[in-house]
């Protein structure tokens, strides 16, 4: 399929979210009609063809919003929600129940902007079954399209290959001179750099002194708490992290938040006192332990569809 066409559609859907966000946050039907249906059709799932897509598919456990079919059998159940709905807990349980009951290999949950795809029978906890996620409002349009092509790949081959980018031909929307990212080291380098995805500090660990972001910019840091603040600031400044992503929980079932639009957790307790860290319109909870701050960094990065392996942290050299 032409990647240019998908890029154009993603641009239109982003504009719709910006223009009609309040209405979309009030209506699942409108979200499906204006955001989800167009994307499915563009990726090969003709929503008007019952050989491919059956809305409100009847099962013994209820009616998932869409069943995507291959050879007459559901290959993915899609649970749709209105824009801004948290795709956690009850929503995931719904999707998993529908897929389990029908023996369907994959299920997906979406609020029209954010999509998460799960492998139903992967022998891990529900949250760890997730194999692909993307957000129409986060990151570059090209990166979003490449992840969205997972749904096209499912239509073509009947399966999803996590971590692989479908090959659909060159895109003229990206400069020919663009070079692939330089592979990052998986161990601390002699000059003190370490991938955030590999970082595992213990209590009392020495503090980081700098963080480098995916765009190769970097800032100095002085404490583990400031590391979390710098990560959140970069995500917000680059429009990866917005109010629509909030609240971001510490864990899937936790009542504690990492980032929210107000400095109050679900259980009513306040963010770290005396002063919660405010970045623009968002608040970031302050953790005390290095490992808690590191895990929080990875959580918010992954929540907005970015990769912690593209963030590097530098430590000052050890003195002899």
**Contact between 303 and 297 (Cβ < 8 Å):** no
3 three-state secondary structure: helix
**Contact between 209 and 314 (Cβ < 8 Å):** yes
Structural domains in the chain, sorted by start: 3-157 (3.90.1570.30), 193-315 (no CATH)
Q: What is the pLDDT along the chain (320 residues), one digit of tens a residue?
A: 557 889 999 999 999 999 999 999 999 999 999 999 999 999 999 999 999 999 999 988 889 999 999 988 999 999 999 998 888 888 888 889 999 888 999 999 999 999 999 999 988 888 888 999 999 987 788 888 889 999 998 888 888 765 444 444 443 344 433 443 433 433 444 457 888 888 887 666 678 899 999 888 889 998 888 899 999 999 998 888 888 888 898 887 778 899 999 988 888 888 875 566 888 889 998 887 888 888 899 999 988 888 888 899 988 765 54
What is the largest distance, in Å, between two alpha-carbon atoms of the chain?
A: 70
**pTM more than 0.85:** no
């Amino acid at each position: 399929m032409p990647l240019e066409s998908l890029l154009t559609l993603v641009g239109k859907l982003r504009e719709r979210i910006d223009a009609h966000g309040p209405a979309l946050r009030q209506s699942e039907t409108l979200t499906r009609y204006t955001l989800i249906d167009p994307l499915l059709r563009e990726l090969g799932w003709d929503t008007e063809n019952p050989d491919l897509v059956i809305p409100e598919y009847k099962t013994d456990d209820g009616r998932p919003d869409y069943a995507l079919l291959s050879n007459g059998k559901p290959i993915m159940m899609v649970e749709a929600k209105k824009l801004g709905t948290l795709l956690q807990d009850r929503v995931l349980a719904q999707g998993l129940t529908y897929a389990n009951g029908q023996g369907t290999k994959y299920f997906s949950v979406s609020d029209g902007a954010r999509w998460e795809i799960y492998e139903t029978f992967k022998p891990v906890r529900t949250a760890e079954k997730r194999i692909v996620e993307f957000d129409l409002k986060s990151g570059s349009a090209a990166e979003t399209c490449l992840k969205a092509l997972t749904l096209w790949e499912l239509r073509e081959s009947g399966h999803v290959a996590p971590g692989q980018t479908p090959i659909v031909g060159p895109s003229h929307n990206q400069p020919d001179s663009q070079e692939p990212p330089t592979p990052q080291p998986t161990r601390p380098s002699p000059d003190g750099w370490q991938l955030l995805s590999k970082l595992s500090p213990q209590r009392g660990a020495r503090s980081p002194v700098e963080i480098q972001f995916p765009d190769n910019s970097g800032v100095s840091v002085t404490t583990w708490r400031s590391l979390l603040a710098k990560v959140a600031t970069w995500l917000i400044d680059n429009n990866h992290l917005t109010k629509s992503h909030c609240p971001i929980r510490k864990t899937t079932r936790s009542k504690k938040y990492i980032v929210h639009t107000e400095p109050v957790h679900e259980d009513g307790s306040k963010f770290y006192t005396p002063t919660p860290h405010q970045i623009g319109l968002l608040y970031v909870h302050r953790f005390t332990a290095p490992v808690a701050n590191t895990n929080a960094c990875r959580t918010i990065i992954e929540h907005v569809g970015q990769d912690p392996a593209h963030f590097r942290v530098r430590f000052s050299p050890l003195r002899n």
